[in-house]
Amino acid sequence: MPVDPTSATDTHTASHTDTEKARLLRRLSADTVLVLPNAWDAGSAAVIAAAGAPAIATTSGGVSWSLGRGDGQGLSRQEMVDAVRRIAASVDVPVTVDVEGGYGPDPADVAATVRAVVAAGAVGVNLEDSTAVGGPLFDLAAQGARLRAARRAATDAGLPDLVINARTDVFLFGIGAADGRSHDVLARAEAYAEAGADGIFVPGLLDLEGLRALCARSPLPVNAMAVPGGPTVAELADAGVRRISLGTALAQSAYSVAHRAAAELFGTGGHTTLGGALNYGELNGLFTG
């Protein structure tokens, strides 16, 4: 049987500092509207923290691109864990990790992933209910078992306060009849709450009235994904959303600047695209202090 490359971290016990960070992450979601511009490497995490972020969330898409992969559960567990370790070491604030589908379909796979990211310094995870990009989704019983395994693994690792944000892709992938999706999400929120989740993430749902209705009825705090041209942070918060993330948008923007700057340099020979950048000293100072 192949040796799981994360097995050496399975005996890690979370520190007092990890526990305090997990509790802080919980308070941030409970006491305020938590806004999370998602990081994809140590550098982006440090920059986001320096801008005032009280916590860092990762984006699997951004991590994948930084490693030369396409998004969509194409990373190995070890590749994600290695990225998480670098990110967590680069900032002092809590780090919550997009672990995609848990790097395997079974509860044991999810448990191994949770143990590994806790050992790497994470105090929160996003776990999605898609079996693959585009669906189908795990049924309620199967995803409930996976979430319970995540909670048990966190407790066994000494971090019972790990924040588990359960992502459902009902709206993102257009699963089921359109008029039944809100009911499906609510049923999943109820089942996931019973299984030990702390929040429900519903990417793809940006209709403010739909979000307002879900927030009013959901047993879990609702996380929405903000997108360019969509509702503002203030509008999402007014609808009752408690946690707002950007997904891959920040990474897309950073890579787009690099593409535009290179295209300008090769085209006109100019470099106006580079105007307004952080200066060398500011950026370097984040890592040499």
Provide the sign of the torsion angle of the four alpha carbons 128, 133, 135, 138, taken in this order.
negative
Q: Which residue has the tokens 């879900």?
A: 214
**Fold classified for 7-248:** TIM Barrel (3.20.20)
What's the pTM value of the predicted model, to 2 decimals?
A: 0.93
CA–CA separation, 274 vs 277, rounded Å?
Answer: 6
Where along the chain do its domains lie?
A: 7-248
**What pLDDT tens digit does each residue of the chain (289 aa) get?**
233 444 434 556 788 899 999 999 999 988 889 999 999 999 999 999 999 999 999 999 999 999 999 998 889 999 999 999 999 999 999 999 999 999 999 999 999 999 999 999 999 999 999 999 999 999 999 999 999 999 999 999 999 999 999 999 999 999 999 999 999 999 999 999 999 999 999 999 999 999 999 999 999 999 999 999 999 999 999 999 999 999 999 999 999 999 999 999 999 999 999 999 999 999 999 997 6
Token output for 138: 């795990």
CA–CA separation, 86 vs 39, rounded Å?
Answer: 12
Query: Peptide bond preceding 136: is omega within 30 degrees of 0, i.e. cis?
Result: yes
The packing angle between helices 107-119 and 140-156, to 10°, is 30
Catalogue the long-range contacts made by 51-55 (C-beta closer than 8 Å, 24 or more residues apart).
53/93, 54/24, 54/28, 54/93, 54/94, 55/24, 55/25, 55/28, 55/93, 55/94, 55/95, 55/96, 55/124
